Amino acid sequence: MTKLVLAPASSFAYAERIARSFGFERPEAPTEHPAEVPLDLGELTPDEMMNLYAEFSAWAGYAAVKVAEAEAMEEDVEGDLKVAEARFIINETEGGEEKVTVARSRRDSDPQIVRLRKELRRRRAVRKLLTTYFGNFERSAAVLSRELTRRTGLGVHEGRSSR
């Protein structure tokens, strides 16, 4: 079987170059580690809550780009795997003496195919994990947003009733 050479630049690297040409830059991690939302939001002052909301929003933006990158890398490996599988079957059945079923069985045990399938599983796991982090950051920001809105609403109503 011929050795498949992986493309040196991923589709994400290409997309990132295009995005930069539009003025977008890849966000950096907002802090070294994401904060945690306290179980008792009453502990937070409005300023602390707003700062925490801004931090979770920034982490959600950062994670969204990481998810996009992971999806692109997963698709790159998936494409490489499909090409390698197709080439293997074509090479094995060219002479006409090999049955497709036998060629598929041989393909499934080919070291390059096994390596690409393992890499695809790893890339998929990274994407799933990053998607989970992204969702967690969005939900945390939403909780803080609702609490900020609730407090603002209480302040407006209290102010009206005290007139």
16 part of a folded domain = no
**Mean of all residue pLDDT scores within the chain:** 86
29 part of a folded domain = no
pLDDT on residue 95: 66
Q: What's the pLDDT tens digit per position in 123-144?
A: 999 999 999 999 999 999 999 9
37 part of a folded domain = no
60 part of a folded domain = no
116 part of a folded domain = yes
pLDDT on residue 104: 86
141 part of a folded domain = yes
Domain count along the chain: 1
22 part of a folded domain = no
Mean pLDDT across 25-45: 91
pLDDT on residue 163: 44
pTM more than 0.75: yes
Nearest residue to 119 via CA among 1, 28, 4, 41: 4
Domain range for 122 is 68-163
27 part of a folded domain = no
